[in-house]
Amino acid sequence: MSVGPNNQLRSNRLATARRAATTAVPTMSHIYKHPREYELEHLGDDEDVAFYVSMVRELRPRRVLELGCGTGRITLPLGEEGARSGFEVIGLDSQPEMLERARQSLADQPLEVRQCIQFVAGDMKTFSADAKLDLILIPCASISHVLDLEEQIAVFKRCYSNLDSGGRFVVEVNMPNMAAYADSFSVPRRTPLEIDLDRTDDSDDTRLIRRKTTRYLSDRQLAEIRFLYEKYRHGRAVESYIDDFQSHVFFPRELALLFIHAGFRLERTLGDYRGRALAPNSPLIIMIGKRTDESR
């Protein structure tokens, strides 16, 4: 079938609109440009910190790398343990604002902790350590910001190549919440608005309320998430903003295949920070792969 000039113009416009629709939503959250609000979001979150500190006590590594370290919320406690147990910790992130905040927090630590921790700017898809590592962590579902399959494979292969033999790679993601995505399958599609966070910092009476909408694109395993933030101080609204970003939705077998494809031997799969095995109602997928001489 031939396409006339008007139809061709309409086709071009539709193609342009489709391209805009696929690129309009940022892949990374703008909250990472606001480290103060990020820390307020995670105020009181200590289960994951305790989990990873317990892990390094068990594994007794010499060199640890955290990818997507942010403000150092997990890196700093790991460094405190490193000062006691004699290992070094590297925190890598691509967001300058987060790294600046992490370095400020590090400056307040005792000398023995500062000597154990290094924060570096970099990309988890392309980083190269100056010496082999014993443990690489991607906590807080940071891997979900890597949307493209080839880039996901690149991360796993990069981690494999930077680990020493016997080293572990740990990836944490959220278990897919199909109930939260159900409205995306309704006709017409519905997008409910929910309050999913309400935190107050008692030190300065700052309150952060976060509302959330989620749209799930099943053909791409992609969640389009919109956060609506409201910030209050002493009961008065001081700031509000919208944060749109995209997140890849990982399923357990998909994550296992990425480990296997990169050469890892799967060691454990957990479903929460208490170390329980993955189950249908688990909130998390925490997968641990080991680089061994027999991996390839």
In DSSP terms, 277 is beta-bridged to 270
pLDDT number for residue 188: 81
Nearest residue to 145 (alpha-carbon basis) of 67, 217, 254, 219: 67
Task: Give the relative orientation of helices 252-262 and 149-162 as an angle to the nearest 10 degrees.
Answer: 50
Residue pair 211/196 in contact (Cβ under 8 Å)? The answer is yes
| Superfamily in which the 35-175+250-290 domain is placed by CATH | Vaccinia Virus protein VP39 (3.40.50.150)
For the chain, the structural domain boundaries read 35-175+250-290, 177-248
Torsion angle (degrees, nearest 10) of CA 214, 219, 220, 226: -10
Give the DSSP H/E element, type plus range, for residue 240. Answer: strand 236-248
Identity at 254, one-letter amino acid code: E
Rounded CA separation 169/161 (Å)? 11
**Pairing state between β 88-93 and 63-67:** parallel
What is the rounded (10 degree) CA torsion for 17, 30, 156, 277?
-110
Question: Whole-angstrom Cα distance, residue 288 to residue 15?
Answer: 42
The answer for residues whose C-beta is within 8 angstroms of residue 122's C-beta and 6 or more apart is 92, 93, 94
pLDDT along the chain (296 residues), means of 10: 40 40 52 79 89 97 97 97 97 96 97 97 96 97 96 98 98 93 84 89 91 93 93 92 93 98 98 97 98 69
Residues 6+ apart with CB under 8 A from 184: 191, 214, 215, 216, 217, 218
Residue matched to tokens 């409205």? 183
Nearest one of 253, 251, 188, 175 to 215, comparing CA atoms:
188
- What end-to-end distance do the CA atoms of the chain give, in Å? 51
* 30-49 per-residue burial string, b: 16 or more CB within 10 A, e: under 16: ebbebbebbbbbbbeeeebb
Crossing angle of helices 96-107/75-85, nearest 10°?
A: 40
Q: Strand 63-67: give its sheet, edge to edge.
A: 117-121, 88-93, 63-67, 133-138, 163-174, 284-290, 265-270
